[in-house]
Amino acid sequence: MKCPDGLGNPYVHLRLGQTTFELGDHDRAADELIRAHLGGGPELFREDDPTYRGFLRSRADLDRSNLDRAGNAGS
């Protein structure tokens, strides 16, 4: 976050969200993943494990079809 252009960078927020999720800090993970989604859209999640989309869907009030465009529906 402290690198140039780190704050607000959707990719940085995505990776931080994934890392904090894996470490068990689900509140922080949800915050970072929603920032990633808002900044980069569902396409940002396309290449990653669908676990993160599912987690984000469960924690955020987002249109399910919008998240599902990033990958398999119901993942």
What digits encode the pLDDT tens for the residues 14-49? 999 999 999 999 999 999 999 999 999 999 999 999
Residue 61: partners with Cβ closer than 8 Å, 6 or more residues away: none
Whether pLDDT at 68 is above 60: no
pLDDT confidence tier of residue 73, bands split at 50, 70 and 90: very low
Domain-located, residue 5: no
- How many domains are there within the chain? 1
Whether pLDDT at 8 is above 50: yes
State the residue range of the domain holding 39: 10-68
Domain-located, residue 74: no
Domain-located, residue 39: yes
Domain-located, residue 43: yes
pLDDT at 7: 76
Tell me what the pLDDT averaged over the chain comes to. Answer: 83
Domain-located, residue 73: no
Which residue in the block uniquely carries the two structure tokens 């676990």?
A: 51
Q: How many Cβ atoms are within 10 Å of 11's Cβ, its own excluded?
A: 12
